[in-house]
Amino acid sequence: MPCVRIVAETVPNECTVKEEIEVRIGAAMDDIVAKLTQPLTEEEVSPRPKETEGPSRIIFQENLEGVNRFFYKSGWTDGLPIIPPTEEAVEEMLTGTDLPADHVVGRIIPRSGKATVEKIAINAVMAGALPTHMPLLIAGVQAIMDPATHFGTFEVSTGSWSPFWIVNGPIRDNLNINKGTGALSPGDIANAAIGRAMGLIIKNIGGARKGIEDMGVFGNPGKYTMVIGENEEESPWEPLHVEQGFNKEDSTISLFFPNCYSQIWPYGSDDKGILRSVISNVIPARRGLFCLMLIPSHARTLAEKGWTKKKVAEFISEYARVPAYRHQKYYGVGAVTWGLTKEQMNCVNPMDSMSILHDPDWIRILVAGGPGAFMGLLGGSWFPKADWVTRKVEIPADWDNLVQKYKDLVPTYIRY
CA distance 292 to 366: 6
User: Positive or negative CA dihedral for 91, 92, 94, 100?
Assistant: positive
Q: Is 198 exposed, middle or buried (0-12, 13-18, 19+ CB in 10 A)?
A: buried
Nearest CA among 301, 265, 412, 284 for reference residue 353: 284
pLDDT at residue 55, as a whole number = 67
CA distance 282 to 326: 13
List, for residues 37-76, the tens digit of each pLDDT value: 999 998 888 888 777 766 677 777 789 999 999 999 999 9
User: Positive or negative CA dihedral for 186, 190, 196, 199?
Assistant: negative
Residue 20 Cα distances to 7, 10, 11, 24, 30, angstroms: 18, 10, 7, 6, 17
Residue 294: phi, psi to the nearest 5? Answer: -115, 140
Question: Which residue(s) pair with 260 in the sheet?
Answer: 379
Contacts of 196 (CB under 8 A, 6+ apart): 78, 80, 127, 128, 129, 224, 225
Q: What is the pLDDT along the chain (416 residues), one digit of tens a residue?
A: 678 899 999 999 888 899 999 999 999 999 999 999 999 998 888 888 777 766 677 777 789 999 999 999 999 999 999 999 999 999 999 999 999 999 999 999 999 999 999 999 999 999 999 999 999 999 999 999 999 999 998 999 998 999 999 999 999 999 999 999 999 999 999 999 999 999 999 999 999 999 999 999 999 999 999 999 999 999 999 999 999 999 999 999 999 999 889 999 999 999 999 999 999 999 887 778 999 999 999 999 999 999 999 999 999 999 999 988 887 776 666 554 445 555 555 567 888 888 889 899 999 999 999 999 999 999 987 777 889 999 999 999 999 999 999 999 999 999 99
pLDDT at residue 324, as a whole number = 83
List, for residues 291-334, the tens digit of each pLDDT value: 999 999 999 999 999 999 999 999 999 999 998 888 777 666 65
pTM summary value: 0.91
